Structure 1
Amino acid sequence: MTRRVLPYRVPAEDVVSAETWRLVVEDGEVPLPEAMPDWDYQMDLSLRRTVRVDLERARRQSGLPDDTPLVLSAVWTATGSNLSGPAQQIPMPAYADGIAEFHFRLRGADLGGLLLLDTALLLAERRVDARPSTPRRAGSVLWSDRQTLRLQGDAPQFPMAVIDFARTSFPDDAAWHLQISGGLDSATMGSLLLLVNERNSTTANAFQKASKPGPVDRIVLSAVYADAARIMVEHALNQDDFTEDTDFPEGSLGATLLNLVEQLFPGQSITDIRLRRQQSPALFASDLQAAVKIFEV
């Protein structure tokens, strides 16, 4: 394990004993997997973890007084949404061994891509009388680790909402609508929104059961994915500045669209794909249908 060299003393790694993160599911708890390919933005994540700290050794080896306030902190970061935030902070006792039971829920709408879970033992307060070799600033890291969870695979993932299309400008009987707004440099999470018509019970039910879909649900989800991929690809090809040489910011709409096009049409240049669509749109539609493997359930 690579360890950062900090400008102050820190304790040995073994002063902290951290269990793996656990995912709370309907039937109990399971160890956090490496990936959740069936995850979608309607699926919140409930997470638990137990961390034990030998506080006497942690303070002594860091050169800290016995009563120095310490805190264990968990922070999450989602690469797909470019969002992050504190999940939970647990103050450590002054003299007893520290046992922290993390338990929190993350909103699916805030997540996407790779979920990073960082746990750290921190100095809780600034020390004005600290020696130069010891931690002094509030938030100084004495120990940390990171665990990751991949929340999306090859399929494009974006926020969605179930609404009544009769209250909108969309056709009352349409099943879904993918809304794309903003430029290619805009954040993906703020640029894409899948709207599902609550009046279409077949489609609405399929998304409600997305984590455990039945045969009909899988067909509906496949059709929505194929249509969303088509809309996204066509939107990308309509932009003159959409090329493989453009350096789109990480997490941007342009980067998301470029990744999708590269997955669906590996080894093909954007220029060739754009020309094929212009010269033979019907054949291109069939190419795209084959690329997304529609109805392969």
Structure 2
Amino acid sequence: MSRLALPYRSPAASCVRAEPWQLVLDGATTDLPESLDFWDYRMDVELSRTMYVDLTAARTGAALTDGAVLTLAAIWTASGSNLRGSVQRVPLTGDGVRTVELHAVLPGAQLGGVLSLETVLVLSRTAGTAAPFAPRRAGSLLWDDAAALRLQGDAPLFPMTVIDFAHTSFRDGAAWHLQLGSDLNAAAMGSMLLLVNEKAEEVSVAFAHAARPGPVDRVVLSMVYSDCARIMVEHALLKEEFVDDADFPEDSLGTTLVNLFHQLFPGRTIQDLRQLRQNSPSLFASELQAATRILQEA
């Protein structure tokens, strides 16, 4: 429950009893983990939660009349995509304790980074004459809590789509193509797209199995990850503004590339790697293979 001082009366936190968020995988539920190590953008996130709301206690604590309508809502926000949406909204009327089952399937293509979940109990509509210091406006917060799930994965963490390369300008024999924007200050999620050729069945199947990859899938995903990391690093090194003291906006393509660089080459400078690529491309390629741990178990 938020501890911020509200300009109106609010009920005790005990008016809502919340079970932990549950992650649903293959029909089985488990408590929401801190991170989802096998997640990728083709994997939707299914969530559920059971809530018990004491409407009588909530209204009494907020000095609301018996006819006031409350709403229990859950909202998700993904830091990787800067998108947000509603998990579920449930209007609550009547008295006593109401049991509410929250459930949603969040599309993986809209997620990324840290998935934040905020559950709130708000006033939807008043009824009758409000008592002094009682909340009056629709949307007034009565109770809230928050949870988070860090989304990670074996696959590169950017949007992807499977298409037929025969209908594009790409070579039909290519298995994948990574598109990167030229503006390092632009939003990362709008500047990166991994295209997979649907004719490269081993690759499309590997991404479909990314949540539970088999031995062949792991090899394919490792190769795609290594190649995409190479493309991203080389793309960055070709940009004059990509330097050690660069300051790019949060969640921008430039920040994403800087974070990838320091993840792959801790303790190294951008200038050092740029010179290595210019002076010894073959050694640079070998260092990238080692940094991305190609064909190695994570």
Q: TM-score, normalised by structure 2?
A: 0.95
**Correspondence for 2:28:** 28
Question: 2:267 & 2:81 partners in 1: Cα distance?
Answer: 27
Question: What is the letter of the counterpart of residue 15 of structure 2?
Answer: V
User: Alignment partner of 1:243: what SS?
Assistant: coil
Q: CA deviation at 1:217?
A: 0.9
The answer to whether structure 1 residue 295 and structure 2 residue 295 are counterparts is: yes
Q: Does 1:173 align with 2:180?
A: no
The range that moved more, 88-97 or 67-76, is 88-97
Is the counterpart of residue 219 in structure 1 residue 219 in structure 2?
A: yes
Q: 1: CA distance between counterparts of 2:280 and 2:11? A: 65
Q: Which ranges of structure 2 fall in alignment gaps of 5 or more residues?
A: none
Q: Which moved more, 1:95-104 or 1:72-81?
A: 95-104
User: Which digits, 9 at most, give the CA deviation of each residue in 1:39-74, with x for residues without a partner?
Assistant: 000001111111111111111111111221100000
Q: Judge conservation of contact 2:22–2:29 (CA < 8 Å) in 1.
A: yes
Deviating more after overlay: 91-100 vs 201-210: 91-100
The aligned amino acid for 2:163 is I
The question of 1:41 aligning with 2:41 is answered: yes
- Alignment correspondent of 1:284: 284
Deviations 1:95-149 (A, max 9, x none): 2322211111110000000000100000113679545522122111110000100
Distance 2:221 2:30 in 1: 26
Identity of aligned residues (%): 55
Q: Which moved more, 1:194-203 or 1:123-132?
A: 123-132
Across the two proteins, how many residue pairs are aligned to each other? 297
Question: Paired residue for 1:105?
Answer: 105
1:169-219 CA distances to partner (integer Å, 9 max, x unpaired)?
Answer: 111111111111251121111111111111111111111111111111101
Output the amino acid matched with 2:77. T
Aligned amino acid, residue 21 of structure 1: W
Hey, what's the Cα distance between the residues in 1 that align with 2:132 and 2:254?
Answer: 47
Equivalent residue, structure 1, for 2:256:
256
Contact 1:76 1:117 in 2 (8 A): yes
Instruction: Give the TM-score taking structure 1 as reference length.
Output: 0.95
CA deviation digits over 1:226-271, x for unaligned, max 9? 0000000111111111234232222211111111001001112222
Q: Give the distance between the partners of 1:226 and 1:20, measured in 2 at CA.
A: 37
Where does 1:141-220 land on structure 2 (aligned, <5 Å)? 141-152=141-152, 156-220=156-220
Judge conservation of contact 1:9–1:63 (CA < 8 Å) in 2. yes
Q: 2-side partners of 1:183 and 1:132: how far apart? A: 54
Report the more deviating stretch, 1-10 or 281-290.
1-10
Q: CA RMSD in A?
A: 1.8
- Secondary structure of 1:124's counterpart equals strand
State the distance in 2 between where 1:255 and 1:127 align. 50
Q: Distance in 1 between matches of 2:74 and 2:150?
A: 18
Matched, 1:273 2:243: no
Shift of 1:275: 1.7
1:289 aligned partner, one-letter code: Q
Question: How far does the alpha carbon of each residue in 1:71-106 deviate from its partner, in whole angstroms, 9 at most, with x for none?
Answer: 000000000001111221001122232221111111
- Which moved further from structure 2: 193-202 or 275-284? 275-284
1:40 touches 1:157 (CA, 8 Å); kept in 2?
A: yes
Partner of 2:56: 56
What is the aligned partner in structure 2 of residue 82 from structure 1?
A: 82
| Aligned residue number for residue 70 of structure 1 | 70
2: CA distance, partners of 1:237 / 1:154: 24
Most deviating of 175-184 and 120-129: 120-129
Q: Which moves more between the two structures, 64-73 or 23-32?
A: 23-32
Query: Which consecutive unaligned segments of at least 5 residues does structure 1 have?
Result: none
Deviations 1:15-40 (A, max 9, x none): 11001111122142121111111100
The amino acid that maps onto 2:56 is E
Aligned residue type for 1:14: S
Cα distance 1:54–1:193, how it changes in 2: closer, same or farther (>3 A)?
same
- Letter of the 2:137 counterpart: R
* Cα 1:242/1:127, change in 2 over 3 Å: farther
